[in-house]
Every structure is written in structure tokens, then in C-alpha cells.
A = this chain, B = another copy of it.
């Protein structure tokens, strides 16, 4: 599994093949079929290992700050291990590696006085926001690295025909810069604020 992870880190998930893995371990590709039924089982084992590395924050000044810290760690885990996005479906819903995280999240929500209905809804959407953010992150990585990327996007938007895209054209002027962390912070804080304000079914 650690050899598989090493390959994934070097060449991505697509670079992980049984032949490549055997080559790394000085063995023929067929040797793995003694330990894993098929390649999917290898992928599941890798997914479990990566999710198991989630270091759940144990203490914080308040439950809302603890919940915030947990979600930031989840975000970081998926950014650092983007393969986990694709491997997550292989992981059982009740696997300990997953339950640990859910236990921490629902612990915070319970102590915050959130009822079960709102807790399930909130936990589900916090996860979806993290997954959605992580899934678009690879394409946005450059936005953080290149200092003038946002200015460039702004110029491209301003260059759009104002009669077809009036709002996108206008948006390009003084296009507000965001790091990907700031975007996530914006969404996370909005969802967390929804908890506190006591929204359940229809916040509006």
C-alpha cells in the first residue's frame, strides 16, 4: 500500500498499475493477486490508509472552533491527497476511518445543541462543500501560485462583449482576488453561520 501511495504521489492515480507496482517491489504483477482479489481492492486499501491519516483536532476553545478546525483539516487532507476524491467511493460507509471523522463532527454539533435533523443536514453539506472545493482545486491551483492570475482573468472578462455578458464584463473591472483558501473560508463560514442562526428546513 505504501508503495502504491508512493507511485500515486509521483505520477498520479493513472500511473498506478499492477506492473508498475510489481516493478517497484521487485516482483511480478501477478503476485498481488494472492493478497488482493483485484485492483479495486488495492485502491480501497490505499483509500483507507489515506483517510486514516486524517488527524482529527481534539481540542479547541469552543465547539464551533473545534468543528471549524475539523473541517479545515478535512479540506487540507483532500488538497494534499487529491486521489482521495476518487478513492472515497471505494471506502465503506461504516469503515472506522470514516466513522472517526463523523463522530468528531456530530460530537461538536450535538454539544452545540443542534437537533438530529439539522445535524445530519449540516454534516452532509459541510462534507459536500469540502468535496466540491477539493474537486475544483486542481484546476484552480495556478490561481494561488501566479500573482497576476486574477488580474489576467479580470482583463479577459472585461474583454467579453458587454451586450452578451453584461455582468461578466462588468465583473472583470476591479475583479476581486481570492485565494482558494479564502474561497473555502467564505463557504465554510456561511454554512457554520447557518448552524448558529438556527436554520433548519428553510433558512429563507
For window 135-184 of chain A, which residues contact chain B by CB distance below 8 Å? 135-136, 138-139, 153, 156, 160, 164-168, 170-171, 174-176, 178, 182-183
In whole angstroms, how far apart are the Cα atoms of A102 and B135 in the complex? Answer: 19
Taking a contact as CB atoms under 8 Å apart, the answer to whether A192 and B171 are in contact is no
Query: Chain B's nearest CB lies how many Å from the CB of A95?
Result: 12
Counting chain B CB atoms within 10 Å of each CB, the highest count among A129, A139, A186, A201 belongs to A186
Taking a contact as CB atoms under 8 Å apart, the answer to whether B120 and A125 are in contact is no
| Residue among B119, B127, B203 making CB contact with A190, cutoff 8 Å | B203
| Residue among B116, B190, B203 making CB contact with A176, cutoff 8 Å | B116
Q: A103-B167, A167-B110, A171-B106 are in contact. Are A186 and B124 (CB under 8 A)?
A: yes
Q: A99-B168, A156-B94 are in contact. Are A178 and B132 (CB under 8 A)?
A: no
With an 8 A cutoff between CB atoms, is A27 at the interface? no
Q: A135-B135, A193-B197, A193-B199 are in contact. Are A183 and B124 (CB under 8 A)?
A: yes
With an 8 A cutoff between CB atoms, is A55 at the interface? no
Query: Chain B's nearest CB lies how many Å from the CB of A111?
Result: 9
With an 8 A cutoff between CB atoms, is A202 at the interface? yes
Residues of B close to A187: CB separation below 8 A: 121, 124-125, 128-129, 191
Taking a contact as CB atoms under 8 Å apart, the answer to whether A189 and B203 are in contact is yes
| Given A99-B160, A121-B186; 14 other pairs, CB 8 A cutoff | A64-B204, A103-B164, A106-B167, A106-B171, A117-B176, A120-B176, A120-B178, A121-B183, A128-B136, A128-B187, A129-B129, A129-B187, A131-B135, A185-B201
Q: 18 A-B Cβ contacts within 8 A?
A: A89-B138, A93-B153, A102-B168, A103-B164, A106-B167, A121-B178, A122-B190, A124-B187, A128-B135, A128-B136, A129-B129, A131-B131, A132-B133, A189-B202, A189-B204, A190-B190, A191-B194, A196-B204
Contact surface of A with B, Cβ cutoff 8 Å: 64, 85, 89, 93-94, 99, 102-103, 106-107, 110, 116-117, 119-122, 124-125, 127-133, 135-136, 138-139, 153, 156, 160, 164-168, 170-171, 174-176, 178, 182-183, 185-187, 189-194, 196-197, 199, 201-204
